[in-house]
Amino acid sequence: MSATTTSVHGKAASEPAVAGSRPGSAMQQEVTRLLPGPLLAIILAVLCAVVLIPIFYIFLASVNTDIGVAGGEFWPSSFSLENYTKIWSSVGLAKGLANSVLVAGATAVVSAAMSVSTAYVLVRYQFLGRLTILRGLLALQSVPGTLMVLPVFVLFSSAASYLGVQVIGTQWGLFITYLTFAMPFSTWVMVTYLRGLPRELEEAARIDGASNLGVLTRIILPLSWPGIVVSGIFAFLLGWNDVLFASVMTRPDSQTAAVALQIFGASQEGGAIPMYGQMMAASLVCAAPVVILYLIFQRYLVGGLTAGGVK
């Protein structure tokens, strides 16, 4: 009788606890949610509209006629892909895209590869000047690139006089310029990422006889792909979107896609009816590689950007 009473009372006592845990978890979800559900949905819809409506208009203008775009038509009266075929001859986009892919891609690969080894030394080893280098990497991010145009141009142009090496107007000269600005940021991203990797894995590899290079190539590199992808993509964007340095450091045969778009847009000023359709089509074509890059490496980007946030 007592056992039955105890079991009944125990069951009755446990039921309120279980029943009480559900409102608690629901209340916790409501507390952790920053905004109410309907308001959050409205804000997200507005933000998506702000981003997607201009892109949708650019696409509609790219398949519209120049007269239709100039007349203020939002929805084209007739759809045509003729603008996408004309841009390769009028804008000179093929050569510009090839130069952009070559220079920006090389900058991304070299910057990501060098930043891993540099960050590994800065994180795992103690030496004189280590903190100074880390603070210098952070300080370099606050220097505007506009202030560096003239010093970089003078330095590279003087190389032809003193060293007999032509740097201005070459693709590798633009590559060195982008690499100079991409390395500090890429190294800082990798420093933040490598700080979150456990040292026990490296110690176990050293016990098995792995050298410093073996630890870097067999342990650090496979675990650092999210950080490597983040640093590489940001270095790629630096070279892909730049107009200022590319305008100064290139010639017509080595100009990038961004410079080709700028020249084409400037040539349309003062005309009777600018080639709006071709400008919109060229803009979408130049933006497509970056969008595809983000879609391919999206899962690595999320892991790399959030690395180091939790210790």
Output the pLDDT for position 304.
Answer: 52
Give the helix/strand (H/E) hosting 254: none
If you ran DSSP here, which 8-state letter would residue 148 be given? G
| pLDDT tens column, 44-99 | 899 999 989 999 999 998 888 888 887 778 888 888 888 888 888 877 788 889 99
| pLDDT tens column, 248-288 | 888 888 889 888 888 887 877 666 667 888 888 988 999 88
Q: Note the helical H segments in 33-129.
A: 37-62, 66-70, 82-90, 93-124
Please give the distance of CA 221 from its chain centroid, rounded to a whole number: 20
Both structure tokens of 55: 């892109």
Residues 88-305, CATH architecture: Orthogonal Bundle (1.10)
Instruction: Look at residue 198 and give its three-state secondary structure.
Output: coil
- Report d(CA 255, CA 241) in Å as an integer: 13
